[in-house]
Each structure stands twice: as structure tokens, then as C-alpha cells.
Amino acid sequence: MPNETSNDLHWWQTRWFVAVMALIAIIPLLRPDIPPLVDLPGHMGRYRVQLSRDEYPWLSDWYNFNWQLIGNLGIDILIIPLAKLFGLELAVKLLVMTIPVMTVTGLLWIAREVHGRIPPTALFALPLAYSYAFQFGFVNFAFSMALALNAFALWLRLARHKRFGLRAAIFVPLSCVIWVAHTFGWGVLGVLACSAEMVRQHDARVDRGPLSWIKAWLRAGVGCVPLALPVVLMVVWRSGAHVGGETGDWFNWRAKIGYMTMALRDRWITFDIAGMAILLLILFRGFRDPSVEYSRNLALSALFLLAVYILLPRIVFGSAYADMRLAPFMLAIAVIAVRPKKGLSIRGSATIAALGLAFVLVRIAAGTASFWMFAQDYDRELKALDRLPVGAKLITFVGAQCGAPWTMTRLEHLPAIALERKAAYANDQWSMAGAQLLTVKYARAKRFAHDPSEIVTSVQCPREWWRPISKAMARFPRDAFDYVWLIRPPAYDAKFNQGLIPIWRDGSSVLFRIDHSQRGIEISDAALKTARPRPTPF
């Protein structure tokens, strides 16, 4: 902030306030041993294979793990030194904690650079640090985006000080680091930097004729050349011999509109949608309220991100929810673009800041309660692993519901904790060559080798690959496994437990040992189709 002392600043504009907000952002993650993010346990299983193939050589019989340069390595690289210092689970927790911290500091820093001071309206954007994309466990993506926000703030600061040579020297390697963490972060940084450069180049010119914005766009492209080196890395990555994964589902308007309502999705639908309504009210007031306005710089950035959101398909290189991931960051940039107009009283600004702080604290308190409840679920289900031997050939089925219930159980990839803690086989690992470093090669598991074979439902769900529980229990290859772990499965007929010996249970969850001296139930496909779920006595 240029030439300002602490006496010039209101309480929400000081460095100590930013530090406090960053610390508050980690509170929901303090209680859980494993952050309850949907995909994170699956990633932790991959980290175990990555770190412990020499210690547990049988892992190489089940999984291929090949280091290669891809744009999806943020936590995968950082976990190597940190796991040696803290152990794998604590290292993952510490790394995940940095994500909301950096997201909060990045948003506030951008707001400070653009507006000169942090506007009180910027506080309303901070709960988006726990956005739906973060809750889903896209940790490399979220880590890269948090880096990108802080990098964009640095980009703005160096431009304000006219340190363009230094900026170029810093951002050539920094853009590569962000790309390696996750390609998405680098792409968003490019969009934000280009839009900011357009405004700066336009405002720096004396001539403001009809072509001024076109000239500014061309100069902005030149100014963003230091961010371009990852294009070469992208070409190398996507031209690899084993790259796969579809790109599709374009212009799915129903999904895109839905994702906009889900930016704060966690546990309680009414509460979460009410939070979104507050954010949309802030954006609406930026147009209609005479006491507030939009920064042209960040408003253009938000419009650029909106254009990307509209054009982005749902699936990119085999990774789903590509457009959903962008929605909360687009909203966050739009919210921090809003600021009080000059002339608004200090009392009015303080009132807005107090309301923004209250919004943050309520969302953090709710998130803390939600994560505590998810942590209780994890603790309860993971007790099954106390009865599981190291190196077990384990198949797991996790109960799910058709459709998309607002509250995700966070249990979908809990099977991978058996891989992480017991070096056991986990059938929930993703197997997409080129998208990540691990692929599954356990041929004996057949069509139950990898994700989504762990997901089971009561009936066949429309447009889903998930199996009904009866079909999964009847058809999985028993000779490939020694144990079956059911995590809150739907009700099913007990006849499918033939040849399975329960060794742990809690409620509907149960761990079976497979008795290979007995044959499993033999049932025709026609009989499976007519099988009806019923309460399962254990």
C-alpha cells in the first residue's frame, strides 16, 4: 500500500487483520486427522505408493507409478520432503491447511493492490476459500489456484512500482511452478494478468480513440509473454505416448447454472444457498447501490473469467468438473471488485466491514462443525482397519445414493486409507494415463480394479457406472481378494454374504474375510435384475 501508516487504516485494512483472517481460515481443519475432502483419501493412497514402493514391494504388483512432467503435481512433489519430517498423514494435513490460508491472503492482497486499501466488501469473498471445489478434494488444483491468486497480487504490485524487468524475471520460473502444481492455476493467472495489463495499458495511453482497447489488448499480450513458457510444457505433456482422457460435455447450461449455486456447498443446503444469496446481493448492489461501485480492473477480470467459464467444457483431459472448479474463483474476483464510492462515511464502511466479518465467522463456525462431524464418521469407519493385516488384498464397496445429494458423505475414497495405512489393495484409485502418475495394473481384479468400482447403490442409477450392491457382491472376483470392506452399504439380500466371515462391524458397515474354501453365490444376470434390496442381517 503506497505511503500509508497504520493511523491511516481502518481495522479491516491492517496487516494484523489479514494475519488473523489467515489464521481463522485454518480452524475447520484443526480437528480432523484427515481433512474430510471427498477425493483427498484417494490422493493419500497414491502418495503411499509413491513413497513406499521399496518398503512394500507388492504395491508394484498392483500399481504402476511413473514419474513424468505433468501439470498436476503440486502436493505430489511437496509431500516427499514433508512426509519424511512429519509422517504422511500430518504432512498432508499441513499442506491442505496452507490452501485456505493462501486463498484468503491472495484475495485480500489483490483487493489491496487494486483499490489501494482493502474495501470492506472484500471480506464477503473470504468464505469461498472453502468452496465446493475445495470440499471435493481437488487439492492440487486448489493449491495451484491459491498460488495463482498471490502471484497475481505480486504481478499487480510490481506493475504499480513499474518494476517490469523484475516482474518478467520472477514470473518466467513462477509461472512454471504454478503450472506444475496444476495447469488450471497457470491458466487463471494468465487470464487475470492479461485483463489487468489491458486496463493498465489503456490507462497509460494519451490517445483514447476507438481502437485504444484493441491496442491495449495487443500490448497486454506482449506484457504477458513471461507467463508463456508453460505452453511448451503443456505441448510436451499432452504429446506423451500414454496420454488419454476425453474432453467434452460443452455448454451444459443446467450444470453451469447449478455450479453457481453450489460455490459454498458443504452440508446444509438452505444455509449454503443463503450464503450464496448474500454474495449475489453484494454483486447486485455493485450495480444498483449509489454508495458502492465496481473496480474496472477487477470487473474486467471477472468478465474474462465468466467468458472462460461459459466456454469451458465440464470434462477436460478426462478430469470432470472443470468448469465447476472455476465458478467460486470467478465469484470471488467479482466480489472483491466491489468497493464503497468516495464519500461513504467511515461509519458506513465500518458497518459493511462488520457485516462481512460476521459472514466470515458464521461460515467458518459452520464449516468447523461440519468437518468435526465428518471427522467423527472417519474415526468410526476406520476402526475396521485395526482388523486388517498389512498387505491385504482388499475390495471395498461404499454406499451412495442416486442423484446428487447436497451433503456428500466424504466416504467415497475412504478405501484408499487402507492403502495408505496398511499398504492394502484399494480399488478406488483413478487409472487415467497422463492425468496422474499412478495407474492400476492388477489384472485379477478385472472390472473391479479401480474407481468407480468402489461405489455401490441400491439400484442401477441412470447415467452412472456405479453398480447396484447386489451385482457388486455377486460378481466381484473372489479369487483376487482376501477381504471385503462394506462402508455404509445400501440394504441387500444376506444370501450374497455366502463364503464371507465378518471380523468387524459397526452399524451397517462390516469387514469380511473371504473363506476361499466356500464358493460364492451363483446367480444369473436375470435374477440379479429382479433382486430386491432388503435389510441385511449380520
Same domain, 536 and 398: yes
78 occurs within a structural domain: no
79 occurs within a structural domain: no
Same domain, 21 and 142: yes
* pLDDT (tens digit per residue) in 80-122: 999 999 999 999 999 999 999 999 999 999 999 999 999 999 9
Phi, psi of 509 (to 5 degrees): -80, 140
- Count other Cβ atoms within 10 Å, centred on residue 74: 24
CB 110 within 8 A of CB 104: no
Residue 331 CA to residue 163 CA, distance in Å, equals: 30
**Which pLDDT belongs to residue 314?**
81
Q: Is 468 helix (H, G, I), strand (E, B) or coil?
A: strand
Same domain, 13 and 60: no
Same domain, 54 and 24: no
* pLDDT (tens digit per residue) in 59-71: 999 999 999 889 9
One DSSP character per residue, 6-59 reads GGGS-GGGSHHHHHHHHHHTTGGGTS-SS---TTHHHHHHHHHHHHHTTTSTTH
Can you read off the three cell numbers belonging to residue 1?
500500500
Residue (of 412, 477, 418, 466) closest to 443 by Cα position: 477
Same domain, 54 and 22: no
Phi, psi of 64 (to 5 degrees): -90, 135
Can you read off the three cell numbers belonging to residue 521?
453365490
**Which pLDDT belongs to residue 303?**
93
Residue 390 CA to residue 372 CA, distance in Å, equals: 29
Phi, psi of 502 (to 5 degrees): -70, 130
Same domain, 180 and 201: yes
CA 209 to chain centre: 43
186 occurs within a structural domain: yes
ω before 452 within 30° of 0 (cis)?
yes
Tell me the β-bridge partners of 319: 316
Those residues whose C-beta lies under 8 Å from the C-beta of residue 292, and which sit 6 or more positions away, are 121, 285, 286, 338, 339, 340, 341, 344
- Count other Cβ atoms within 10 Å, centred on residue 213: 15
b vs e for 155-177, b when ≥16 Cβ sit within 10 Å of the residue's Cβ?
A: bbbbbeeeeeeebeebbeebbbb
- At 266, the amino acid letter reads D
Same domain, 381 and 530: yes
- Classify residue 382 as exposed, middle or buried by CB count within 10 Å of its CB (0-12, 13-18, 19+): middle
Same domain, 19 and 39: no
Q: Is 397 helix (H, G, I), strand (E, B) or coil?
A: strand
- At 84, the amino acid letter reads K
Structural domain boundaries, residue 506:
31-67+373-538
**Which pLDDT belongs to residue 538?**
44
**Which pLDDT belongs to residue 206?**
58
**Which pLDDT belongs to residue 215?**
81
Residue 100 CA to residue 25 CA, distance in Å, equals: 6
Same domain, 397 and 257: no
Residue 415 CA to residue 394 CA, distance in Å, equals: 9
362 occurs within a structural domain: no
**Which pLDDT belongs to residue 1?**
41
35 occurs within a structural domain: yes
Tell me the β-bridge partners of 440: 63
| Separation of first and last alpha carbons in the chain | 66
CA distances from 255 to 7, 284, 405 (A): 48, 22, 15
Same domain, 56 and 136: no
Which helix (H) or strand (E) segment holds residue 110: the answer is helix 88-115
**Which pLDDT belongs to residue 3?**
45
Can you read off the three cell numbers belonging to residue 4?
500509508
506 occurs within a structural domain: yes
Residue 400 CA to residue 409 CA, distance in Å, equals: 8
169 occurs within a structural domain: yes
Phi, psi of 289 (to 5 degrees): -80, 125
By DSSP bridging, strand 483-487 and strand 394-399 are parallel
State pTM to two decimals. 0.92
Which of 344, 363, 392 terminates a domain? The answer is 344
Same domain, 14 and 158: yes
Those residues whose C-beta lies under 8 Å from the C-beta of residue 148, and which sit 6 or more positions away, are 106, 178, 185, 186, 188, 189, 192
Spell out the per-residue pLDDT of the chain, length 538, in tens: 444 445 578 888 899 999 999 999 999 999 999 999 999 999 999 999 999 999 999 999 999 999 988 999 999 999 999 999 999 999 999 999 999 999 999 999 999 999 999 999 999 999 999 999 999 999 999 999 999 999 999 999 999 999 999 999 999 999 999 999 999 999 999 999 999 998 888 777 756 666 777 888 888 888 889 999 999 888 877 776 455 556 777 878 888 898 889 999 999 999 999 999 999 999 988 888 788 888 888 999 999 999 999 998 887 776 778 888 999 999 999 999 999 888 777 787 889 999 999 999 999 999 999 999 999 999 999 999 999 999 999 999 999 999 889 999 999 999 999 999 999 999 999 988 778 899 999 999 999 999 999 999 999 888 888 999 999 999 999 999 999 999 999 999 999 999 999 999 999 999 999 999 888 777 777 667 666 665 554 4
- Please count the structural domains in the chain: 2
- CB-side neighbour CA atoms (13 Å) of 403: 3
- Count other Cβ atoms within 10 Å, centred on residue 76: 21
- CB-side neighbour CA atoms (13 Å) of 36: 26
Same domain, 215 and 234: yes
- Count other Cβ atoms within 10 Å, centred on residue 190: 21
- Classify residue 354 as exposed, middle or buried by CB count within 10 Å of its CB (0-12, 13-18, 19+): middle
Q: What is the DSSP letter of 229?
A: T
**Which pLDDT belongs to residue 530?**
64
Can you read off the three cell numbers belonging to residue 452?
468407480
Which of 324, 344, 364 terminates a domain? The answer is 344
75 occurs within a structural domain: no
Residue 132 CA to residue 381 CA, distance in Å, equals: 24
Q: Is 247 helix (H, G, I), strand (E, B) or coil?
A: coil
Which of 325, 344, 363 terminates a domain? The answer is 344
CA distances from 147 to 74, 110, 144, 300 (A): 10, 12, 5, 21
Those residues whose C-beta lies under 8 Å from the C-beta of residue 373, and which sit 6 or more positions away, are 267
Residue 506 CA to residue 516 CA, distance in Å, equals: 24
